Chain A
Amino acid sequence: MKFTLGVPFSGDVLPHQHLRTALISTTPPAVLVKELRKSYAREGGVLPFWNRGSQRHMALDGVSFELRQGERLAYLGPNGAGKTTMIRCLSGRTRPDSGTIELMGQPVDRSSARDTLGLVPQEIALYGDLTTRENLFAFGRFHGLRGSNLAKRVEWALQWTGLADRGDDLVSTFSGGMKRRINLACGVLHQPEVLLLDEPSVGVDPQSRQRIFTMLDQLSERGTSILLTTHHLDEAETQCDRIVIVDRGRVVATGTFDELLRQTIGRDRSVTVRLDRVLRGEGNEPLATCGLTLAVKPGERSISAKVPEIAVGLPRLIDAVGAAGYGVVDVDVQSPSLHHVFLHLTGHELRD
């Protein structure tokens, strides 16, 4: 059993999903991106300056996806896949070359973006030499809040971040996790309908990560649609409703985790059995007739298998190993994860 905010829920259904099921309906998507393209001139190339325009990097190459209302969407990709460019396009901070972005059913412009969107950058974009309260008041004012409404929202943010007792301390004196929470709070003071989070949990300890996602759960309960980029694939797998994977400026897969599994590597468990001796080149007939897909290489000390029903397949595999005259030293069973899906879709090549 997992517990969030003291509410027990089953392992397959996340707390924010209970409420979101009702919100995800026929209403227009919170964000709808169609065929978005954006390219930049390459920097530091060897071409002379008058010819650099011809050497361009395609950051977004026809990206399309949607963020449904009340949904939490993970936007994943290797380094340089165009994640930050997408966030900048959504927040109106950069102009796409072509394509459209709709926000709550309307074409996005700067004024609608600033009122509807909340942006939380990857860096700690705060004034370290101001106190928590001063930072909150400043960013609340920049978001157009004033008077008692601003004061009320600042008090809410202090409670929400769990930093009410540190409201008058300088932000520069805080730990990374505390700064991350204030960073997040400054982006939601104006109660945006859509929240864009660029790596919200980078560089923080597991406790702070848990706290940050608890805060996001509370926003989700209020109906905030959240798009987040992250390199913590376990977060995307367990904390998000749907996942978009991009690579080289293009969307390579979209769906829930289960949908992605079905589209890519399937739900079969990977089982590795370590043997007490190396595999012989002959006398392995029981392994061949056990009814499982095995990888058997004579001279190695292990057998790998894809097992659809682990309760049925694993005993059968161990029996076959015994029948072939080998002893079992260890058994490793791996469930398919987003990590495997991600590498399957984007490959193992480094993207430096």
Chain B
Amino acid sequence: MIWKVIEIHLRRLRHNRVEWLLAFVVPIAFFSIFALIFSRGVGSTPRVKVALVNGAAESAAASEVTDRCQTVLDNLGKNEGLRIIRGSSDGDTVDRSTAEMMVRRGTATIAVVIDQKDEQISAELLNDASDQVASQVVTALVTREIMVGSAPGIPEQVDSSTSAAEPPTSAVKLPSGQSQTGEPTSSSEQAEFAQFVQNVASKPDGTSSPPAPSFVPQAFGPPKIEVVNIIGQGKTNPVISVYAAGIAVMFLLFGATTGGGVLLEERENQTLERLLATHMTMDQLLLGKWFYLTLLGCVQVTVMFVWAQLVFGLNLSEHFDGFAMMTVATASAAASFGLFLATLCRTRGQLGGLSVVAVLTMSALGGSMVPRYVMSESLQRAGLWTFNAWALDGYDKVFWRELPPSELGPQLAVLMVTAFVLLVAARLLAIRWEVA
């Protein structure tokens, strides 16, 4: 008898393609996605988006000082671990206000301002605290470049020791608002200096203290590098808006696909047949469902963010305008997505399998599960094909960067176009149910 039960289930499994999909294909697909995200085995390693500022040039310092700063910036520009974000001019550098705006808008993750104070090259890193990796990587690289630049005749042998392949573990973390000072002096102890730079670059992550004194040769002190969090400074729980948005969008998608499944249920039990024999048209039916799913999605996300405000201190009330715009656009896109999937499928079983695959894939690539900044650039680009990524970018602008609603144009446009295109696609697919 027990064997018969097993046999029955095996035979049913053999005939059920959706179950095959869910049992074997989906887990492997997700393992692969997360393996790609965390192993970075595909595409290039994520490069930190950096804006470069020559502080000495802005303060009209002597040309010699400006040149020294520019040399450091030029060396940074050549580093493979950094992606230099340029302004409107042809050069690699931008002015400080532009750099700040780039960081605030998310165009650049961090801005490096190189200047000379007290006859010593120093750096100020204007940081977006949401990316907890970038500041560590850039601090290490800037430290190296300044010290190499301050020690004439030394450096090529160490220049290759740090590369883009190992930035996270070669970082030196400086907490926001803190600074490291030192007195680098020229010395003939090149080997000692080289060892110091190696130590700086290879010091394990997770330490917030400056390089231990034992690493510092007496002849060289670490340069003064100040990390300033221009976004996220003072926020009690900086990641809460990111996760609230990520989870909300993922469940919006699940809710919308479940809601879309009602259409298939109506078709299977002939309610659709009956509805279309009344005054109801397919246009009205789909639009009615779309409005309902959009409204439900808005309420769902609002409840979630209200909870986040009440329990986790998210500042919803101050950003309600941007939140409302993003929520309406995201919910409408999710509603269209749910209807599109429903009209694409023939049965609820198909819809169940397809929606699990589609929603989890979009959520994984789009940043609902892990932040996109930890993904390789190719995966980040792939994520832009999901509207999770655009929605999360929009919420990020609202709650993290605290940008005005006027800055949400690209995200709102992509989401609304997605909503429109998918709704039209659903309508076209539903033609086959109208008159056969």
B285-322 to A contact mask, C-beta < 8 Å, 1/0: 00000000000000000000000000000000000000
Is B277 touching A93 in the complex (CB atoms < 8 A)? yes
Taking CB atoms, residues of chain A closer than 8 Å to B277 are 91-93, 113-114, 117, 119
Q: Give complex CA distance A187, B274 in Å.
A: 8
Stretch in contact with the other chain, from B82-90, B101-109, B265-273: B265-273
Partner of B436, one of A94, A124, A125: A94
Contacts of A91 in B (CB 8 A): 277
Q: Taking each of B269, B270, B276, which has the highest tally of chain A beta carbons within 10 Å of its own beta carbon? A: B270
Q: Which residue of A lies closest to B435 (CB)?
A: A95
Which residues of chain A are near B63, meaning CB under 8 Å?
none
A143 CA to B275 CA in the complex, in Å? 9
A120 to B273, CA, bound (A): 10
Q: Flag if B273 contacts A142 (CB, 8 Å).
A: no
A40 CB, nearest partner CB in chain B, Å = 8
Contact of B279 with A93 in the complex, beta carbons under 8 Å? no
Instruction: Pick the contact of A142: B275, B435, B436 (CB < 8 A).
Output: B275
Closest to A186 in B: B274
Q: How many A-B residue pairs have CB under 8 A?
A: 51
Chain A's interface: helix, strand, loop or mixed, by majority? loop
Does chain B have a CB within 8 A of A100? no
Task: Return chain A residues, CB-CB under 8 Å to B280.
Answer: 142
Contacts of B435 in A (CB 8 A): 92-95
| 0 or 1 for each of B253-272: is its CB under 8 Å from A? (1 = yes) | 00000000000000001110
Which partner residue on chain B sits nearest A91 by CB separation? B277
CB pair A121–B270 under 8 Å, yes or no, is yes
Q: A93-B435, A94-B436 are in contact. Are A144 and B278 (CB under 8 A)?
A: yes
Query: Nearest chain A CB to B265's CB is how many angstroms away?
Result: 10
A196 to chain B, nearest CB (A): 9
- Min Cβ gap B281→A in Å is 9
- Cβ-based interface call for A276 (8 A): no
* Residues on the B chain within 8 Å of A125, using CB: 269-271, 273-274
Q: Does A122 contact B (CB under 8 A)?
A: yes
CA distance A200 to B278 in the complex (A): 19
A207 to chain B, nearest CB (A): 24
Interface positions of A from 182 to 203, Cβ below 8 Å from B: 186-187
Judged by a CB distance under 8 angstroms, whether A3 is at the interface is no
| Among candidates B270, B276, B278, B436, residue contacting A139 with C-beta atoms closer than 8 Å | B278
A166 to B276, CA, bound (A): 27
How far is B271's CA from A122's CA once the two chains are assembled, in angstroms? 10
Residues of B within 8 A of A92 (CB): 277, 435
Residues 110-155 of A contacting B (Cβ, < 8 Å): 113-114, 117, 119-127, 139, 142-144
CA gap between A117 and B274 in the complex, in Å: 11
> Complex: how many Å from CA A95 to CA B279?
18
Residue interface mask A169-190, B partner, CB < 8 A = 1: 0000000000000000011000
Most buried by B among A40, A113, A127, A142: A142
Chain A residues 77 to 128 lying within 8 A of chain B, measured CB to CB, are 88, 91-95, 113-114, 117, 119-127
**A144 touching B269, Cβ below 8 Å:** no
List the A side residues contacting B273 at CB < 8 Å: 88, 93, 119, 121, 125
Measured CA separation A119–B276 after assembly (Å):
10
A residues less than 8 Å from B276 (CB atoms): 93
Given contacts A93-B435, A94-B435, A94-B436, contact A143 B278 (CB under 8 A): yes
Say how far B249's CB is from chain A's closest CB, in angstroms. 27
Chain B contacts for A123, CB-based, 8 A: 269-271
Residue of B nearest to A187 (CB): B274
Measured between beta carbons, the chain B residues less than 8 angstroms from A93 are 273, 276-277, 435-436
In the bound complex, what is the Cα–Cα distance between A280 and B146 (angstroms)?
124
CB distance from B211 to the nearest CB of A (A): 65
Instruction: Please report the C-alpha to C-alpha distance between residue A94 and residue B435 in the assembled complex, in whole angstroms.
Output: 5
Across the interface, B278 reaches (CB within 8 A) one of A40, A122, A142, namely A142
* Chain A residues with CB under 8 A of B279: 114, 142-144
Question: Which partner residue on chain A sits nearest B285 by CB separation?
Answer: A142
User: What's the nearest-Cβ distance from chain A to residue B40, in Å?
Assistant: 42
| Smallest CB separation, B33 vs chain A (Å) | 32
B46 to chain A, nearest CB (A): 44
B269 contacts which chain A residues (CB < 8 A)?
A: 123-125
Which 6 A-B residue pairs are closest in the complex by CB-CB distance?
A121-B270, A142-B278, A123-B270, A125-B271, A119-B277, A125-B274
> A88-B436, A122-B270 provided; 20 other pairs, C-beta below 8 A?
A40-B436, A92-B277, A93-B273, A93-B436, A94-B435, A94-B436, A95-B435, A95-B436, A114-B277, A114-B278, A114-B279, A117-B277, A119-B273, A119-B274, A119-B277, A123-B271, A124-B269, A142-B279, A186-B274, A187-B274
Residues of A in contact with B (beta carbons under 8 Å apart): 40, 88, 91-95, 113-114, 117, 119-127, 139, 142-144, 186-187
Offer 24 A-B interface pairs, CB within 8 angstroms, sorted by A.
A88-B273, A92-B277, A93-B273, A93-B276, A93-B435, A94-B436, A114-B277, A114-B279, A119-B273, A119-B274, A120-B274, A121-B270, A122-B270, A123-B270, A123-B271, A124-B269, A125-B271, A125-B273, A139-B274, A142-B275, A142-B278, A142-B279, A143-B279, A187-B274
